[in-house]
Amino acid sequence: MTSGLFRNAARWIFLAVLVYAPWAYGGTTSASIQIINWLLLAAFILWIVELAVGGRRPAFPRLLLFLVVALVGIGGWMALNAPSIYDSDFHTFVPLRNFAPRLAGSVDFAISAAWMLRGALLLCAILFVVDLSQSNRWLLRLWFTIGLVAGSIAFLGLLQKATGAQMIFWQTAPVWGATTFFATYYYHGNAGAYLNLVWPLTAGLAVRAFTKPSHPGMRALWISMLIVTIAAVVANTSRMAQLIALLLLIALSVQLGPAFLRKVSHTKKNVGLAGAIAILLTLFAVGQATHLEQPLKRWQSVTEQISSDARWRASRVAMGAQRDIGFFGFGPGTFRVVFPSYNNAATKPAPGTWRFLHEDYLQTALEWGWLGSSLWALLFFGGIAIGIRSYKKSAAQNWAPRRRLLQRLVIVALAGVALHALVDFPLQIASIQLYIATYLGLCWGSSLWKGVNSG
């Protein structure tokens, strides 16, 4: 009884973090990141207490445990053995006394230590979701939470577009550089990446509501959420997010379309056709209200802007720096203090200040080196591969229907953010990191799914 109380408390707190992170400016401010860290820590402490009190030993894939321990070990060592710290006032590295001067260490102790605190919590989140996903009841609660938060964020963004807001509603003065905000995100690219992570799951909830006995109110709710989230992607001015959304839509149509048509009765098909027409009309009306001419104008100038986009110069500078990264890189989170020196020395430097590189894979390689970035790639893409492999195994036929549906949606969503990371920095944003960790927990955890479990 006591262990169950701790377990439920830990899981409800984790769901609360999934609600809080996107609404707290997407986890892009230091204050929001700290609160996310504290909430995750509280959930994990309660989880550990539940395991100790109940004498329960959760199962984890061995490869996942190895990757988590290895990444925490490498990143932790790089932070603790840092030989310097960056002085932003004088733009110089101040030497520090470290444990092993001859061994690798981060170029900035403070940044790497802060990043590793968040990174360790995110890695623990993967393990936490592996355990949580073994319960059908909590899996559905997790899915519902993501769908509801997705709809609320999307609705806010559409409301801002419709009213011509110059900034996030509750901010009295514009933040420097936040000219392309959407919903609670200062940068539309991050908002688009988040929406592409979550709208496939709202689509799955809508499909689920029509392919099983459901209350009409639930069907109306999830259809509304689907309309709002797709409309938000279209209204958002991130072209890459819109392109990826189109690819995701095609993938989901191929994956879910035939099965949906088989399960839906003839009467429901007619209702569904009428509903599809209504959805198109609704999207058109929403588009008129939310000024869809803005993203359309951006598409008209795509050729000119791509050729002159500074992110390509920055990526070339980062590629030139790859020769110096070694096995362990410059340290977790240190891109912003390492890149300026390479950029200033480049033949064609990228203009402006770069906190993140608009290419997540190159940035990860700079910060983690060949070994660390390979482990991160194995964690991310290995998780997707495990999810696909688990879904295709014969044992998956015994899964509850919600598991089979959710698994496909999660894999497609992760593939979308993997594409987005080629030209932007979604993998550096705390809220998106948290959702990715959650999805990876579902993929890795699916290798342990055996059948219907109502725990």
Task: List pLDDT tens digits, range 59-99.
Answer: 999 999 999 999 999 999 999 999 999 988 888 899 998 88
CA dist 143 and 347 (Å) reads: 49
Q: pLDDT by residue (tens digit) across 318-340?
A: 999 999 999 999 999 999 999 99
The domain boundary, picked from 274, 293, 308, lies at: 308
Q: Which long-range contacts (CB under 8 A, 24 or more apart) does 343-351 make?
A: 343/314, 343/317, 346/313, 346/316, 346/317, 346/320, 348/313, 348/316, 349/313, 349/317, 350/310, 350/311, 350/313, 350/314, 350/317, 351/310, 351/313
Q: pLDDT by residue (tens digit) across 271-317?
A: 555 555 555 555 555 555 545 555 555 544 555 555 567 888 999 99
Q: Sorting pLDDT into bands at 50, 70 and 90, what band is 365?
A: very high
137: nearest Cα among 222, 12, 48, 226: 12
Q: Sorting pLDDT into bands at 50, 70 and 90, what band is 166?
A: confident
**Same domain? 163 vs 280:** yes
Q: Give the least confident one: 74-78, 200-204, 406-410, 451-455.
A: 451-455
The domain boundary, picked from 272, 290, 308, lies at: 308
434 found inside a domain: no
Q: Which long-range contacts (CB under 8 A, 24 or more apart) does 221-226 make?
A: 222/147, 223/275, 223/279, 224/151, 225/147, 225/148, 225/150, 225/151, 225/154, 226/199, 226/202, 226/279
CA dist 374 and 147 (Å) reads: 32
- Please state the rounded mean pLDDT for residues 101-128: 96
Residue 431 or residue 181, greater confidence: 431
CA dist 234 and 239 (Å) reads: 9
pLDDT at 343: 92
84 found inside a domain: no
pLDDT at 299: 47
125 found inside a domain: no
Helix axes 188-211, 239-263, angle to 10 degrees: 10
Question: How many domains does the chain contain in total?
Answer: 2
How far are the Cα atoms of 201, 332, 338, 359 from residue 101, in angstroms, in the given order? 48, 18, 19, 31
The whole domain housing 203 covers 149-308
What average pLDDT does the structure give for the chain?
87
253 found inside a domain: yes
**Same domain? 263 vs 159:** yes
- Please state the rounded mean pLDDT for residues 33-39: 97
**Same domain? 199 vs 300:** yes
Residue 219 has pLDDT above 90, yes or no: no
* Whole-prediction pTM: 0.91
17 found inside a domain: yes
Q: Sorting pLDDT into bands at 50, 70 and 90, what band is 455?
A: very low
Q: Give the least confident one: 18-32, 72-86, 199-213.
A: 199-213
- Please state the rounded mean pLDDT for residues 153-158: 93
18: nearest Cα among 105, 108, 182, 144: 144
The domain boundary, picked from 41, 57, 73, lies at: 57
What SS3 state is found at 40?
Answer: helix
- Please state the rounded mean pLDDT for residues 258-268: 57
CA dist 385 and 446 (Å) reads: 11
Neighbours of 322 (CB within 10 A): 13
Residue 210 has pLDDT above 60, yes or no: yes
Q: Sorting pLDDT into bands at 50, 70 and 90, what band is 453?
A: very low
**Same domain? 171 vs 299:** yes
Residue 144 has pLDDT above 50, yes or no: yes
Q: Which residue has the tokens 């207490």?
A: 49
Residue type, 335: F
Q: Sorting pLDDT into bands at 50, 70 and 90, what band is 189?
A: very high
433 found inside a domain: no
User: DSSP label at 85?
Assistant: E
157 found inside a domain: yes
27 found inside a domain: yes
